[in-house]
Structure 1
Amino acid sequence: MSKLTKEEQRLDASRKRLAHWKRWGPYLSERQWGTVREDYSPDGHAWQYFPHDQARSRAYRWGEDGIGGLCDRHQYLCFALTLWNEQDPILKERLFGLANHEGNHGEDVKESYFYLDSTPTHSYMKFLYKYPQAPFPYSQLVEENQRRDRQQPEYELSDTGIFNEHRYFDVFIEYAKSTPEDILIKVTAYNRGAVAAPLVLLPTLWFRNTWSWQRSAAKPNISLETHSPSGQAIRAEHSHYGQRWLLYEDTPQLLFTENETNLERIWGQPNPTPFVKDSFHNYLIHQKSDCINPNLTGTKAAGHYHRTIPAGESVTIRLRLTDQPPGEHPFGTGFDRIMETRIAEADEFYAQRMPELSTKEAKAIQRQAFAGLLWSKQFYHYDVATWLVGDEAGPNAHPHRNSSRNQDWRHLYNADVISMPDKWEYPWYATWDLAFHCVPFALIDPDFAKDQLILLLREWYLHPNGQLPAYEWDFNDVNPPVHAWAVWRVYKIERRIRGQADRKFLERAFHKLLLNFTWWVNRKDAQGKNLFQGGFMGLDNIGVFDRSQPLPTGGHLDQSDTTSWMGMFCLNMLAIALELARDNSAYESVASKFFDHFVYINHAMNGRGDDCLNLWDDEDGFYYDVLNLPHGEQRFLKIRSLVGLIPLFAVLTLEPETLSQLPNFHERMMWFLKNRQEFRTNVGTQVREDGSIRYLLSLVSEERLRRVLHHMLQEEEFLSTFGIRSLSRHHRDHPFEFHVNGTEYRVAYEPGESRSPMFGGNSNWRGPIWFPLNYLLIESLQKFHYFFRESFTIECPTNSGPVLNLWEVGGELAARLMAIFHQHPSDNRPIWPADHIAQHDPFWRDHLLFHEFFHGETGQGLGASHQTGWTALIAKLLEQYGDELISTKVIS
């Protein structure tokens, strides 16, 4: 094994708890307002209860937000950058975006910012915020988006023309850790415009308000450090961490106030003190000098730097957040040397972990994908029991409060650093998103990936009945059961990287996953037919009905996707049990249970031998949901969507070598196949030259696999230039329509933003390309190839002539996904609209966003613009396939 890099040494020290290199990180949210946690209304209208306009004046209960900031892992002490261009009506302390009811396609951040770099321990981080020099168009963004209907695209910040003529600042924020507790901070602001422009920079340190909600809570304090040999300094004192100092280069004016609600502005009540959360705003913009504490103390403080930056030039300010009292020359030559060293160590780490990529551009794509993944960690605090009844020192909860959302989750107590889908639009964990995040995380920090997966299985997350929490808007909702898949993938990735398997992790996860599997079987197979009804299953508007609500027809759906996810869950658990059985034969009987259950599900989906419909439509050669009407009639809902491709995910090969090592399991499996003749066709076999038998466990037989792939690889159906569409383009000219009691329900191909308000309308599964399911399709093709090898080839694209094996088909799909981010011969990147400034401006074009989903025809990024989480799977595809495939794609 090669010598550990410096970053790997830090990871090793962190794992062994020798040094807390991960104590400080980018754990601030980018939106705390408008979240469920801060919503104490009786009607559950979170966006209206705590809007953006109140965020500068109202203390948060459960977390903090900021721009490009960092905090400790308990989020007691926070740091972020505040800006003012002397034009805006408010200080730029946090990112702005539309509430759900304000956007024509749902909520959306309306800012331009980029995560440029980070190491796993956050020993080095880099962030870019693009700050306009003209007044920020808050009202224009709201009014224009409210004016537009769902047929029109979102109106974005760049559409306002505010970046024209380069009239903006590029504000880079960099962090480098000298030690786990000594953090160097450098802020560099470039004036990209043609004339000089003023900029106020307010590097701000504050305590999360933990003292207003409990009568006995101690209040921390920030004050002027009077013994600072060089420059200005403030001292922060907290009962948990003791003392910390923030050192400011030069001698900025120091401002102090309290992180307390401005009661007068929010509630019309007198303030006990003029020193409140929005005092810096009032001091600078409204020139109210009496709102700043003259005693130079409080729970929120900032250094006030005023700079006029000449055209094309920059200014830099340096700071140091440390556990050591101020000494001589904190910003001497050693400061820059440490910063440069950490950058070089980050380069070294990624070069060793990801050495196969041959082009600079591919490395940049992968590096920024990892950066977004790492920057999207967030401290997440939510105690549901307290939230429901109200705080000890607060007013009593509204009488309707206990009938509001999440009342069944009173056991849930979250106070952890968690990987978020997106820290603005989705500043809360989602179970299936997190599972996908952990796969690319395992490439760079297997310990964090494992900890995240175990965390959601802990008893203060997992419901006593075995259900995993979905997301804070409704923990009762149901996400696809991919947790076992992620556990198995992370286990194998770590084994490959470190050369050592973590059986303890695998076993811990397996035991809790048994509870979750039982919940699924008991709650989502109401008829006991091994056909499952999971509701919306994370696919929002993919169905003709809102599948999370009672059907307008009555009856129930047998869902192809939910049943297939359960088949995949069975095989993931079977694979884990077989692995654990190598060391403990007791797991062989558990493995037998999952083998049997998988075969039952397979039989139910593909042919039960009774008068009921299974989920396979032989006429179309595709899987569909089946509508079971109250009077006994059954109907296929013939929508060609990912719902019918998900059956491909459940596939596993059992090798004779594995079976020979597990005689009890092998004996039980053979008994089952011999004595349950009706199920034998649901298990594929292949005889090797030595006469031994390989077994294929798959929901899709070889013949049906060909028929499904015929649809999937057809460019007029699922196969886009940029991956697999979520809905077949067949439905562009042939919409699916269903009439109930005079109401028409309709699904048509929509390759871009959603035209349906279902689930808020901010996501769309009726045509766009989604990375997580594309990734699983590629992985499934690899698994099928492992069994069939060269005996299975197919035209790709369908009816095009070229014949590929399934590994090559997976590579073709991977190349199409990679092409979304690649700069093509036309000098355009598909992720950006053709007329976007990023297509030609040298200060934009190399900075990437990793969106929630992508346009089915153009590849343009849509939905949440910073949902690097599962879109970071591009980093895994690049690691696996390399970047040579991209050059073979010709994008018109």
Structure 2
Amino acid sequence: MDEDRLKTQNWRSWGPYVSERAWGTVREDYSSNGDAWGFLTHDQARSKAYRWGEDGLAGICDRYQLLVFALAFWNGQDEILKERLFGVVPQQNNHGEDVREYYYYLDASPTHSYLKYLYKYPQAKFPYQQLIEESQRRGIEQPEFELLDTGIFDDNRYFDIFVEYAKADPEDICVRVELFNRGSEPAHLHVLPQLWFRNTWSWGDVPGPTPSIRNAKDPSGQACLIADDSTATPMSNLLTDYALGKRYLYAESGGQPLFTNNETHRERMYGCPDPTPFVKDAFHRYVINGDACVNPDEVGTKACVHYGNVTVPAGESVVIRLRLTDRPISDAIQGVDAVVKQRKSETDVFYDELHPPKASEDERLVQRQALAGMIWSKQFYYFDVNKWLEGDDSRAKPPASRHTIRNEHWKHLNSMRILSMPDKWEYPWFAAWDLAFQCIPLALVDPEFAKEQLWLLLFEQFQHPNGQIPAYEWEFSDLNPPVHAWAIWRVYNMDRIQSGRADREFLEKCFHKLLLNFTWWVNKVDAEGHNVFEGGFLGLDNITTFDRSTPPSDGSSLKQADATGWMGMYCLNLMRIALELAKENKTYVGLAIKFFEHYVYIGSAMKNMGGRDYELWSEEDGLFFDALCYPDGSYHRFRLRSLVSLIPLYAVERLEEVWTSEFPEFKANLDWFMRNRSHLTEACLSTSENAEGKVHLLSLVDAEQLRRIVEVLWDDAEFLSPYGLRSMSKHHQEHPFSFGDQTVKYDPAESTTWLKGGNSNWRGPIWFPTSFLMIESLRKLSKVYGESIRVPAEPDADRETMTLSEVAEGHANRLISLFTRDADGRRAIYGQRETMQHDPHWRDCLLFHEYFNAETGEGLGANHQTGWTGLVASLIDEWRR
């Protein structure tokens, strides 16, 4: 929007900031044992008012989620009103929690001026119990039991419900709900567009005054609800006053306004009397049971317009139009279609300009839906950890055990921010390393939002006073790989290229906080001061034989090749940022020198473990491995061929002398170090010449080591899958790795171990973040080595050898091919699900899974993990130019 580019209006004041799931989250868990899934279940969710945030279908809300709009449906057969998505929890499933619904983020503009969502709702009774019972029956070796497997979509007996939002202006939102009957007979559907206030008034010793929603009885015949927050106590913990004022929800005639309150149904939940008869689950009870439980005075804090028993002819559709605005509008519904059409057209133009010129039509579709998923996955993330630990009501303190379960040391964390979620159902909370990767594709469409996201985790109310960045809400103190500096440096450069302006203020303020985080890392995970790190599991949940987050009980320590590689990468990221800042402030040269030298010490240590007679590099295998070091000085090398063996390759940077000459002090120290500390630099620094002069390559591997690693990377018997980089070598399919009484084998699909929750697997499947970093590293290395390093091509290739650049391109193309149709019209992500492969109403609606079967490409894990699988949009952008 032109107005948005000029920053004269806030087009982002309303957005898709509503979670897909608030039940079963840590924030809503007030149990004595930390069982979030058991404390507030899906069945209870319709009856209990949430403390920290709302959920709904295709929901939107204002910046601070005071007022929420979302859809609810009932097919006449379902046991419950469909107000939120259903999924099985870890105790009910053979592979951890998982949503059991089909919904898609089809389109979105970065300003939310246009949004499109699809929900597929069966016409038969929804099989809640069957999904639970069959999932519990299946063993961990079996695939998950999905909703399609129940047969409920057979003969196309379902509704495709498309929800479109289009803003006439930042505060005037047109809504178009189109109900398609895909079946061969007429079908009936109840539609309930809902409007409600988040419950902000019930949590203290004394309940506060409430806002209200009333029936305006619009004379034109269209329904009109007026939401007014002027009677409620304003939010107290903001820097400035915030209030919505009146909001008007107009709806097409034919619906019946209903009213209740967003209050917990205490009788159902706790067996005690309700202060009001009008409670949160009233619409469910009214529509399904016929209970007289809605407010006849037509006022409350939750309301809807009930379109009862809408008949949708076979193969046809019915449209319901609404409008949510900040002012009275006569004939408000009349203009809805025109606004939707206009904003859709503008969004088409936006993406037409964004798509790279060499992308196919199918690749454009993949990129657009991936970016739509990134935009839809924003969420109002509200969490005051101190308030959660101590409780709201002095008369009902949380159990003392709450302070020993999780997050006791994060009382400073206080969020009322819009944050990018990994997946708003399975992971409806920010995760540090997920967010870093999320910001790369986000920067394609909204670099300002991407920069803001990266800064927020460094902001005082997030970053710990000791420097740690919070990991994720299940335990903020866990360790995620230190990729924040990499993401900041990359987004800074993406923004600089797109805008033509370098945002040094962003880079500088982030750099200062990264210094604290780096120091925390060094003090935390380099116990012996030898620059070899012991970082814990580092996000690779079950890649080894034991939980790497738990120190061994025998006094031994695990020296991690991946932790050390990550820290080498961190040093180089900070060195480059410091040099960039030194262009305007020479003070930063000293910090660039510091991080260069620290990198060299790490590189040397990887080859000579702190002066001992062993190293993380195995000359015999041509890979890096972890080493378990015992108190008596002996060690055991974990010859497990996994991403741990490859991550040291991520620590790579080029320094051209023609460029470093701009920094004489840095160049002088670099030259001095190479002359006087050659026994250190020879392990991780090499110099070559090209047409422009000398180039120093900072890499933890030399040319021969690199060649050996890349040979394994491009070997289909090792790490090369038909669809990208395996997270564990296929070598371990026939040669399992054992240590103690535990064995690890190549496992290309769902996890077959319950280590770290059982719903994640780094023992073979393809993961986008680690693959993306490998492609970047190979591209950097190829600029130094050119064609001098070659590896054998795959047997059926049209060439005998491949360069580093060609290997990088090969991995990128394989990742993209997960989503695009092959010669037979099939998408690898959908495996053998023939409905998704061929049905015209399914095949172009894409899911972006958490990880992928390394042999078939089938999507696994969370299925809306555009959080980092959205990186496919960046791959298309970079490899189709």
TM-score normalised per structure 1: 0.95
Task: Give yes or no for the alignment of 1:791 onto 2:788.
Answer: yes
> C-alpha deviations, 1:418-437, integer Å up to 9, x for none?
00000000000000000000
> C-alpha deviations, 1:617-651, integer Å up to 9, x for none?
11111100000123321111110000111011010
Other structure's SS at 1:282 match: helix
User: Counterpart amino acid of 2:783?
Assistant: Y
Give me the whole-angstrom Cα distance separating, in 2, the residues matched to 1:610 and 1:355. 50
Going from structure 1 to structure 2, the CA distance change for 1:798 and 1:405 (only over 3 Å counts) comes to: farther
- CA shift, 1:552, in A, is 5.6
Among 77, 87, 93, the residue aligned to 1:103: 93
Counterpart of 2:864 in structure 1 is: 866
Give me the whole-angstrom Cα distance separating, in 1, the residues matched to 2:757 and 2:200. 33
Contact kept, 8 Å, 2:192 with 2:307, in 1: the verdict is yes
Give me the whole-angstrom Cα distance separating, in 2, the residues matched to 1:152 and 1:74. 43
Other structure's SS at 2:323 match: strand
Task: Figure out how many residues of one structure are paired with residues of the other and give that number.
Answer: 866
Other structure's SS at 1:140 match: helix
Other structure's SS at 1:83 match: strand
- CA shift, 1:487, in A, is 0.3
User: Counterpart amino acid of 2:255?
Assistant: P
Going from structure 1 to structure 2, the CA distance change for 1:264 and 1:459 (only over 3 Å counts) comes to: same
Counterpart of 1:490 in structure 2 is: 491
Counterpart of 2:317 in structure 1 is: 314
User: Counterpart amino acid of 1:454?
Assistant: W
Other structure's SS at 2:333 match: coil
- Structure 2 unaligned segments of length 5 or more: list them: 231-242
Contact kept, 8 Å, 1:683 with 1:695, in 2: the verdict is no
Task: Give yes or no for the alignment of 1:245 onto 2:236.
Answer: no
Give me the whole-angstrom Cα distance separating, in 2, the residues matched to 1:87 and 1:861. 31
Going from structure 1 to structure 2, the CA distance change for 1:814 and 1:687 (only over 3 Å counts) comes to: closer
Contact kept, 8 Å, 1:212 with 1:393, in 2: the verdict is no
> C-alpha deviations, 1:686-725, integer Å up to 9, x for none?
4436794210001111111111112111101100000010
Task: Give yes or no for the alignment of 1:38 onto 2:50.
Answer: no
> C-alpha deviations, 1:20-45, integer Å up to 9, x for none?
11010010000100000000111100
> C-alpha deviations, 1:782-815, integer Å up to 9, x for none?
0001112222222233897622221111111111
- CA shift, 1:198, in A, is 0.8
Counterpart of 1:223 in structure 2 is: 214
Among 149, 162, 180, the residue aligned to 1:190: 180
Task: Give yes or no for the alignment of 1:12 onto 2:9.
Answer: no
Going from structure 1 to structure 2, the CA distance change for 1:394 and 1:149 (only over 3 Å counts) comes to: farther
Contact kept, 8 Å, 1:220 with 1:299, in 2: the verdict is yes
- CA shift, 1:329, in A, is 1.5
Give me the whole-angstrom Cα distance separating, in 1, the residues matched to 2:678 and 2:522. 24
Going from structure 1 to structure 2, the CA distance change for 1:872 and 1:266 (only over 3 Å counts) comes to: same
User: Counterpart amino acid of 2:447?
Assistant: P
Give me the whole-angstrom Cα distance separating, in 1, the residues matched to 2:612 and 2:411. 44
Other structure's SS at 1:678 match: helix
Counterpart of 1:128 in structure 2 is: 118
Other structure's SS at 2:11 match: coil
Give me the whole-angstrom Cα distance separating, in 1, the residues matched to 2:184 and 2:218. 42
Counterpart of 1:888 in structure 2 is: none
Task: Give yes or no for the alignment of 1:579 onto 2:576.
Answer: no
Going from structure 1 to structure 2, the CA distance change for 1:553 and 1:718 (only over 3 Å counts) comes to: farther
Going from structure 1 to structure 2, the CA distance change for 1:10 and 1:824 (only over 3 Å counts) comes to: farther
Contact kept, 8 Å, 2:658 with 2:692, in 1: the verdict is no
- CA shift, 1:252, in A, is 1.0
Give me the whole-angstrom Cα distance separating, in 2, the residues matched to 1:284 and 1:691. 75
- CA shift, 1:88, in A, is 0.6
Give me the whole-angstrom Cα distance separating, in 2, the residues matched to 1:776 and 1:358. 22
Contact kept, 8 Å, 2:684 with 2:701, in 1: the verdict is no
Counterpart of 1:3 in structure 2 is: none
Counterpart of 1:473 in structure 2 is: 474
Q: Between 593-602 and 629-638, report the one with greater CA deviation.
A: 629-638
User: Counterpart amino acid of 1:259?
Assistant: N
Going from structure 1 to structure 2, the CA distance change for 1:152 and 1:177 (only over 3 Å counts) comes to: same
Give me the whole-angstrom Cα distance separating, in 2, the residues matched to 1:198 and 1:486. 49
Task: Give yes or no for the alignment of 1:259 onto 2:250.
Answer: no
Among 756, 781, 785, the residue aligned to 2:778: 781
- CA shift, 1:64, in A, is 0.3
User: Counterpart amino acid of 1:32?
Assistant: A
- CA shift, 1:610, in A, is 3.7
- CA shift, 1:118, in A, is 0.2
Going from structure 1 to structure 2, the CA distance change for 1:608 and 1:45 (only over 3 Å counts) comes to: closer
Going from structure 1 to structure 2, the CA distance change for 1:344 and 1:558 (only over 3 Å counts) comes to: same
Q: Between 601-610 and 639-648, report the one with greater CA deviation.
A: 601-610
Counterpart of 2:752 in structure 1 is: 755
Task: Give yes or no for the alignment of 1:270 onto 2:273.
Answer: yes
Going from structure 1 to structure 2, the CA distance change for 1:824 and 1:799 (only over 3 Å counts) comes to: closer
Going from structure 1 to structure 2, the CA distance change for 1:700 and 1:187 (only over 3 Å counts) comes to: same
Contact kept, 8 Å, 1:213 with 1:394, in 2: the verdict is no
Counterpart of 2:233 in structure 1 is: none
Give me the whole-angstrom Cα distance separating, in 2, the residues matched to 1:585 and 1:95. 54
Contact kept, 8 Å, 1:10 with 1:121, in 2: the verdict is no
Following TM superposition, the consecutive aligned residue runs of length 4 or more in structure 1 with deviations greater than 6 angstroms are none
- CA shift, 1:824, in A, is 1.2
Give me the whole-angstrom Cα distance separating, in 2, the residues matched to 1:689 and 1:514. 34
> C-alpha deviations, 1:36-78, integer Å up to 9, x for none?
0000111100000111110000111100000111011101100
Contact kept, 8 Å, 1:68 with 1:127, in 2: the verdict is yes
- CA shift, 1:230, in A, is 4.5
Among 852, 875, 889, the residue aligned to 2:850: 852
User: Counterpart amino acid of 1:816?
Assistant: R
- CA shift, 1:359, in A, is 2.0
Contact kept, 8 Å, 1:213 with 1:393, in 2: the verdict is no
Among 298, 307, 322, the residue aligned to 1:296: 298
Give me the whole-angstrom Cα distance separating, in 1, the residues matched to 2:359 and 2:33. 55
- CA shift, 1:109, in A, is 0.3
Counterpart of 1:660 in structure 2 is: 661
Q: Between 20-29 and 690-699, report the one with greater CA deviation.
A: 690-699
> C-alpha deviations, 1:350-391, integer Å up to 9, x for none?
111224244211110000000111100011111010000110
Contact kept, 8 Å, 1:542 with 1:641, in 2: the verdict is yes
Task: Give yes or no for the alignment of 1:279 onto 2:282.
Answer: yes
Contact kept, 8 Å, 1:437 with 1:873, in 2: the verdict is yes
Contact kept, 8 Å, 2:609 with 2:616, in 1: the verdict is no
Contact kept, 8 Å, 2:530 with 2:609, in 1: the verdict is no
Give me the whole-angstrom Cα distance separating, in 1, the residues matched to 2:402 and 2:451. 36
Contact kept, 8 Å, 2:106 with 2:373, in 1: the verdict is yes
Give me the whole-angstrom Cα distance separating, in 1, the residues matched to 2:345 and 2:376. 19
Counterpart of 2:193 in structure 1 is: 203
User: Counterpart amino acid of 1:161?
Assistant: G
- CA shift, 1:474, in A, is 0.3
> C-alpha deviations, 1:312-336, integer Å up to 9, x for none?
11110000000012x321122x322
Contact kept, 8 Å, 1:685 with 1:693, in 2: the verdict is no
Give me the whole-angstrom Cα distance separating, in 2, the residues matched to 1:10 and 1:728. 52
User: Counterpart amino acid of 1:271?
Assistant: D
Give me the whole-angstrom Cα distance separating, in 2, the residues matched to 1:766 and 1:10. 49
Counterpart of 1:328 in structure 2 is: 330
- Note the 1:435-474 alignment, pairs <5 A: 435-474=436-475
> C-alpha deviations, 1:137-158, integer Å up to 9, x for none?
0000000000101010000000
Going from structure 1 to structure 2, the CA distance change for 1:459 and 1:798 (only over 3 Å counts) comes to: farther
- CA shift, 1:611, in A, is 3.2
> C-alpha deviations, 1:94-133, integer Å up to 9, x for none?
0000111111000000001111000001000000000000
Contact kept, 8 Å, 1:254 with 1:301, in 2: the verdict is yes
User: Counterpart amino acid of 2:833?
Assistant: D
Going from structure 1 to structure 2, the CA distance change for 1:573 and 1:619 (only over 3 Å counts) comes to: same
TM-score normalised per structure 2: 0.97
- Note the 1:389-538 alignment, pairs <5 A: 389-392=390-393, 395-538=396-539
Among 753, 764, 767, the residue aligned to 2:764: 767
Task: Give yes or no for the alignment of 1:354 onto 2:378.
Answer: no
Going from structure 1 to structure 2, the CA distance change for 1:11 and 1:783 (only over 3 Å counts) comes to: farther
Other structure's SS at 2:833 match: coil
User: Counterpart amino acid of 2:377?
Assistant: S
Other structure's SS at 2:165 match: strand
